[in-house]
Structure 1
């Protein structure tokens, strides 16, 4: 598995944990840095995701809320974490093509979410792409 995908997986696990058992991002990062397989992940990307998302959760939720058919508080915490990672990468990781971000989020939704979770993630992020990646979205294939 690629190092960036591992970083996303670890970030989603950390963000899930943060939602169900709130703690400081510093403590959370320290805990995840103790895991034996963390060295296989892209640590720079893991830290960027974790710290960036924690710092901008309200902004990310403001982007996501109009695209979700229910209050974000009712979204499963793992789905919420996947949406945060996807929205953050679409907004802040412009070196990654939006299709890569979408595919990764869908795969992580399949991996961690309930049945059909990947479809929900795909639907929400697909509606977010035009506003965050307008120029890239409009380019012909």
Structure 2
């Protein structure tokens, strides 16, 4: 059974995928998704935080991701890009969520929505980003 947080991340990926492709207003995209089956089981507060945080801070999040990528963000699949943006946002702004949970959730969502081996790429990128953003947490976790 999926947790409410997992559902919020899945719906956030769908919203951000559409936002990346169409550049439509995030609020309109979110309003449309609210009628999707299963949305009522999602953590609405986390969903809102993810979509609003990513759409408002996409430039800064892309800048954080850039050194961890092997290509420009424009060349990423929109699903991988959306998942990476969410992962970067959570690593930066939700330090109460352990870095391993952020990475695992991103990998699992990419397995569901992304290409065949996209999850491997997402895992590697977020692992490098976590090493930069959560070095102290990683150090303590390895003890």
- The TM-score bracket by the shorter chain reads over 0.9
Distance apart, 1:36 and its partner CA: 3.2
Partner of 1:93: 94
- Distance (whole Å) between structure 1 residues aligned to residue 18 and residue 26 of structure 2: 11
Count of aligned pairs: 141
The answer as to whether partners of 2:103 and 2:123 remain within 8 angstroms in 1 is: yes
- State the secondary structure of the residue aligned to 1:4: helix
Partner of 2:11: 10
Do residues 120 (structure 1) and 86 (structure 2) align? no
**What's the CA shift string for 1:26-72, capped at 9, x where partnerless?**
21121111223211100000000000000000000001111111111
**Counterparts in 2 of 1:5-44, with a 5 A limit?**
5-44=6-45
- Distance (whole Å) between structure 2 residues aligned to residue 6 and residue 35 of structure 1: 12
- Distance (whole Å) between structure 2 residues aligned to residue 47 and residue 104 of structure 1: 17
Distance apart, 1:130 and its partner CA: 1.6
Gaps of 5+ in 2: none
TM-score (norm 2): 0.95
- Distance (whole Å) between structure 2 residues aligned to residue 40 and residue 70 of structure 1: 36
**What's the CA shift string for 1:101-123, capped at 9, x where partnerless?**
11101111111110110000001
Structure 1's consecutive aligned runs of 4 or more residues displaced over 3 angstroms after TM superposition are none
Gaps of 5+ in 1: none
**Counterparts in 2 of 1:119-138, with a 5 A limit?**
119-138=120-139
